[in-house]
Chains A and B, each alone.
Chain A
């Protein structure tokens, strides 16, 4: 991120941050309470310094002790109140931030779910992790470190000036200059530098994270391939770039920290000289002189939080922009077309192909002019040599691939005219690279149907040959699986996904090579269970099942078989 592209970015950043702040859904009443608690905390300390300075110098004039009673009581009370207010402020601010992060994550997730598939799958996992983790958190910190302290600091600066004003105008003037310098110039300088560098930092760090993740995930392949050293070298290069970027942030951060002690010189000396004038003029009491002498040292507590707030503000803006890039422009996420009032029967569906040509490119259709009528409860086996387009046909029937010619109809409505979720709720396709959730075996099946009974879960697992595996697990169905099935073998994973597709049921079930990871006997048994309409242990009678398989000999007698030929020709016959 050089300075050149920063200009349009800077224009968009505040808007992105405002949208992210809205996504935090911060209630104004809670924000006000947090700010009041913050002011009370800093106010206690400031008042304690003022009253005790007054008390000591007034006492030096040896007045009657009774004259000091009010000051003594105030000092004691202020000695206690700060701690209590601090606790209150911390609680209110953190609750506010945590609520905000929850709302933000929920809104992000909803927006992600509304994005088109390819946008989601093209994201590197490391990036996604960084967005939902670090960046969402960054906006929580935005509340804690920028929003609340920022408002509190403004209130406190006014309070400080209001305290000095009646004592000495010249002291007030130097204090005003010092406060302006500390609370405007220093954070602004810190912000300018931090924004330019932090932006670069976060991009290079995402890069480092993504590279580290890829190495950790695929170390084995990289090692045997001899690409590990190169990958580590890339990681090191990325790290150096990141180091260089983050080193640029060090100096501005240091200047920001040193700014308050530096401006204190102005406030302290200015107030000291004003005290001299005021005392000799006889216009001020000893107590007031005491305040002028000592209070400047305690007037900058609110200002010390400001450079951090400015840095956080820069980070929040960068985070908000990245989040915006993740979910796409706001209108994409919110614009949902109203579902057309298409009446579809829920429990069963008639699937029809009319003059269907299917393929990935118009020049090379894999299937040509296919007419297929699958009333509810149909069973169909699809066979054919490799490359004959079996999977392509299945993807087209599932509505994942648009037909080259002709159409696919569900209950008489062309698939292309239906809403995606209307199609998905009726047509289930078994996908081999589906996600295995890091939860129990049972929940991995229930994810598709919340009302599944244990008996149904077991029946499905039996059918795909996972009964022995379940029996061997320490907690049976309650065994927790690792993230994305990393703790189970490839075969188990595939069969679990198959069981999930089967229990999902729905009117139409499309399965691509379901028996692949099974031994021959088990595979044949499963194929029979799927294709025999009389066998409703696995799939109800009314469900339409289409199975792509290469095990022609295991297809039950009487099952319709669609044979796809090499020249996009299709032939429908009955299995003998």
Chain B
């Protein structure tokens, strides 16, 4: 999964690990700020609130030091100067208020940014077509589901702290310099050690977190695969044993994660070390000068209050390190998907398919090892039945996807020849206007949720009961209905019924729809052998209605019934 579903790594999510210096990746992704409005506004607001917090920290320190010095030196109790006491309370209250506003607006910004990016990813992936997920495995889905949620800790936790380190740290340092230049010198001496040690630790961890993430992804994919295959493992009587695999996978991940974290946590150690060391050095230094009367008490107390504040934002940034890497990884992955050019929708209205011919000319689509199909030629003439055949893996389904404008060919063209002879490239056609005229039955049909009746009615709204019954009888669905009834709930995506029954239901939907072109992808694949007759009869019915049929088939009888046969081959 993205870093996300990444599983256990995220158990290290709040690790205090600034780890490696951010090679090649800015802590704020410029595209995020540029393209996502909510993120841009959020950054501006956090800078402003950072300045407010800096001011109240400095005021708090100065007033406490002043009150303390008054008390010890002049024996003047704090309630003797109520104005100062009031300023102190106000400064502390302003700081609390700024924190409140910052946190609340950060959540709102994160919600907007996540919502926007998820929507864009899903829409874009759908436009990319059948192969959008190819080569990404579970990554695309996990990005759209959980991965993108990583923006929340990034925007809520990391970005504000980053902005505080740009405001609080320099302002506290400046105040210390004005009070006591020597202390500022100590702080300035330890501060550059932070990047120095970070680089050293970074050299130690180089490549480790990438390896960890890759490792985690593959382990997660394997675990998911085991879970997906659980029904199969049970059918094979092998469901006992894989849990050992789950533990082994988990233990492997844990030891690899701890191996990385060992080094990653070094950087948090260095940060904590330098922060406390700086305070300790300043305290001892001030103490020594006070003993010899080389310094006044008030600035000494103020410096002591301010010293830890220099490092506090840096430490918080460090503790949010994983939020930043996970968030930036999600942003990167999101823009990687969005940057992939989607086939543009055409602008031309598709010609009426009832009189049009669809054809492929020399169409090749790249596959794992060459092309499938390779230089496919086929012609779908109106009112005719075309069988597309070829060996397994030759690209029959892919060829038809190109024909329907679902996928762009790497070579060759798909065209529609209208009744009047006008030729249009499928890529120029407004897809919706084409698909409205097509009923597609994929190998594993996807049905809308609902009952048998509502699913059938979806194909022809307002159909009479008699029409539904006729369609059910024509596809052998009547047997299923006799057993389960018209109002049997199919669950989501037809998961409540078998693949064969789903296929019959999809066939009945094709009968009920009145589209001029019907595409059947291996329609007998999940039916008993002799139900082939149902499909053959169905094709006859469609032919009788003057509808065009494309049938992807292995079976000789299906091929025999066709008016024309196109053979698709793979090639290199």
Interface centre among B14, B102, B227, B242 (most CB of A within 10 A): B227
Residues of A within 8 A of B305 (CB): 294, 297
Interface centre among A279, A424, A490 (most CB of B within 10 A): A490
Residues of A within 8 A of B467 (CB): none
Q: Tell me the B75-126 residues at the A interface (CB within 8 Å).
A: 75, 77-79, 85, 88-89, 92-93, 95-97, 99-104, 107-108, 111-112, 115, 118-119, 122-123, 125-126
B291 close to A513 (CB less than 8 A): no
Residues of B within 8 A of A469 (CB): 392-393
At the interface, yes or no: A397 with Cβ under 8 Å from chain B?
Answer: no
Measured in the bound complex, the distance between the Cα atoms of B499 and A561 in whole Å is 27
B94 CB to closest chain A CB (Å) equals 9
Residues of B within 8 A of A225 (CB): 435, 440, 446
At the interface, yes or no: A117 with Cβ under 8 Å from chain B?
Answer: yes
The one of B72, B140, B499, B500 that contacts A286, using a Cβ cutoff of 8 Å = B72
Residues of A within 8 A of B392 (CB): 469, 489-492, 495, 517
Residues of A within 8 A of B228 (CB): 125, 435, 483-484
B129 close to A268 (CB less than 8 A): no
Measured in the bound complex, the distance between the Cα atoms of B554 and A209 in whole Å is 37
At the interface, yes or no: B171 with Cβ under 8 Å from chain A?
Answer: no
At the interface, yes or no: A13 with Cβ under 8 Å from chain B?
Answer: no
A98 close to B258 (CB less than 8 A): yes
1/0 per residue A466-507: CB within 8 Å of B? 000100111000000011101111111011000000001000
Residues of A within 8 A of B527 (CB): 386
Residues of B within 8 A of A558 (CB): none
Residues of B within 8 A of A447 (CB): 229, 233, 236, 238
Q: Which of A257-265, A347-355, A531-539 sits within the interface? A: A257-265
At the interface, yes or no: B166 with Cβ under 8 Å from chain A?
Answer: no
B103 close to A257 (CB less than 8 A): yes
Measured in the bound complex, the distance between the Cα atoms of B101 and A255 in whole Å is 9
Residues of A within 8 A of B85 (CB): 269, 272
Measured in the bound complex, the distance between the Cα atoms of B16 and A565 in whole Å is 73
A144 close to B11 (CB less than 8 A): yes
The one of A48, A57, A219, A428 that contacts B279, using a Cβ cutoff of 8 Å = A48
B402 CB to closest chain A CB (Å) equals 12
Using known A-B contacts A133-B1, A251-B104, determine if residue A59 contacts B401 with beta carbons closer than 8 Å: no
Q: Which of B267-275, B358-366, B374-382, B414-422 sits within the interface? A: B267-275
At the interface, yes or no: A45 with Cβ under 8 Å from chain B?
Answer: yes
A295 CB to closest chain B CB (Å) equals 11
Residues of A within 8 A of B12 (CB): 94, 98
Measured in the bound complex, the distance between the Cα atoms of B288 and A548 in whole Å is 96
Measured in the bound complex, the distance between the Cα atoms of B261 and A520 in whole Å is 58
A48 close to B266 (CB less than 8 A): no
Using known A-B contacts A98-B8, A141-B11, A286-B72, determine if residue A276 contacts B238 with beta carbons closer than 8 Å: no
At the interface, yes or no: A246 with Cβ under 8 Å from chain B?
Answer: yes
Interface centre among A55, A133, A145 (most CB of B within 10 A): A133
A490 close to B397 (CB less than 8 A): yes
At the interface, yes or no: B10 with Cβ under 8 Å from chain A?
Answer: yes
A232 CB to closest chain B CB (Å) equals 6
At the interface, yes or no: B404 with Cβ under 8 Å from chain A?
Answer: yes
The one of B224, B247, B476, B530 that contacts A129, using a Cβ cutoff of 8 Å = B224
Measured in the bound complex, the distance between the Cα atoms of B220 and A240 in whole Å is 29
Using known A-B contacts A298-B308, A513-B528, A520-B556, determine if residue A52 contacts B72 with beta carbons closer than 8 Å: no
At the interface, yes or no: B52 with Cβ under 8 Å from chain A?
Answer: no
At the interface, yes or no: B130 with Cβ under 8 Å from chain A?
Answer: yes
A279 close to B75 (CB less than 8 A): yes
A438 close to B92 (CB less than 8 A): no
Measured in the bound complex, the distance between the Cα atoms of B301 and A432 in whole Å is 78
Residues of A within 8 A of B221 (CB): 438, 483
At the interface, yes or no: A228 with Cβ under 8 Å from chain B?
Answer: yes
1/0 per residue B485-497: CB within 8 Å of A? 0000001110110
B284 close to A60 (CB less than 8 A): no
Residues of B within 8 A of A126 (CB): 145
The one of A205, A227, A240, A517 that contacts B448, using a Cβ cutoff of 8 Å = A227
Residues of A within 8 A of B483 (CB): 360-361, 364
B229 CB to closest chain A CB (Å) equals 4
At the interface, yes or no: A213 with Cβ under 8 Å from chain B?
Answer: yes
At the interface, yes or no: A83 with Cβ under 8 Å from chain B?
Answer: yes
B246 close to A550 (CB less than 8 A): no
Measured in the bound complex, the distance between the Cα atoms of B550 and A2 in whole Å is 51
B5 close to A129 (CB less than 8 A): yes
Instruction: Count how many chain B residues have C-beta atoms less than 8 Å from C-beta atoms of the other chain.
Output: 171
Using known A-B contacts A95-B254, A106-B246, A487-B368, determine if residue A518 contacts B554 with beta carbons closer than 8 Å: yes
B108 close to A390 (CB less than 8 A): no
At the interface, yes or no: B526 with Cβ under 8 Å from chain A?
Answer: yes
Q: Tell me the B207-257 residues at the A interface (CB within 8 Å).
A: 220-240, 242-243, 246-247, 250-251, 253-254, 257
The one of B79, B276, B287, B531 that contacts A45, using a Cβ cutoff of 8 Å = B276
Q: Tell me the A418-436 residues at the B interface (CB within 8 Å).
A: 421, 424-425, 428-429, 431-435
At the interface, yes or no: A165 with Cβ under 8 Å from chain B?
Answer: no
Measured in the bound complex, the distance between the Cα atoms of B52 and A261 in whole Å is 14
Interface centre among A56, A105, A213, A289 (most CB of B within 10 A): A56
Residues of B within 8 A of A490 (CB): 392, 397, 443, 522, 525
At the interface, yes or no: A332 with Cβ under 8 Å from chain B?
Answer: no
At the interface, yes or no: B283 with Cβ under 8 Å from chain A?
Answer: yes
Closest chain B residue to A90, Cβ basis: B265
The one of B119, B369, B393 that contacts A474, using a Cβ cutoff of 8 Å = B369
At the interface, yes or no: B547 with Cβ under 8 Å from chain A?
Answer: no
Residues of A within 8 A of B225 (CB): 435, 437-439, 483-484
Q: Tell me the A100-133 residues at the B interface (CB within 8 Å).
A: 101-103, 105-106, 109-110, 112-113, 117, 120-122, 124-126, 128-130, 132-133
At the interface, yes or no: B348 with Cβ under 8 Å from chain A?
Answer: no
At the interface, yes or no: B146 with Cβ under 8 Å from chain A?
Answer: yes
1/0 per residue B524-546: CB within 8 Å of A? 11111111111000000000000
A56 close to B234 (CB less than 8 A): no
B272 close to A83 (CB less than 8 A): yes
B111 close to A247 (CB less than 8 A): yes
Using known A-B contacts A213-B145, A258-B96, A548-B529, determine if residue A144 contacts B14 with beta carbons closer than 8 Å: yes
Please, could you name 27 A-B residue pairs with CB atoms under 8 Å apart, sorted by A? A59-B291, A60-B300, A84-B273, A101-B7, A105-B247, A133-B7, A134-B5, A137-B11, A140-B8, A214-B493, A216-B132, A219-B129, A220-B401, A235-B119, A246-B111, A258-B100, A262-B96, A265-B92, A268-B88, A269-B78, A273-B78, A276-B77, A438-B137, A473-B369, A484-B225, A487-B368, A489-B392
| Other contacts beyond A130-B146, A136-B7, A447-B236: 9, CB < 8 A | A79-B276, A82-B273, A87-B269, A94-B12, A129-B224, A264-B92, A361-B482, A425-B237, A447-B238
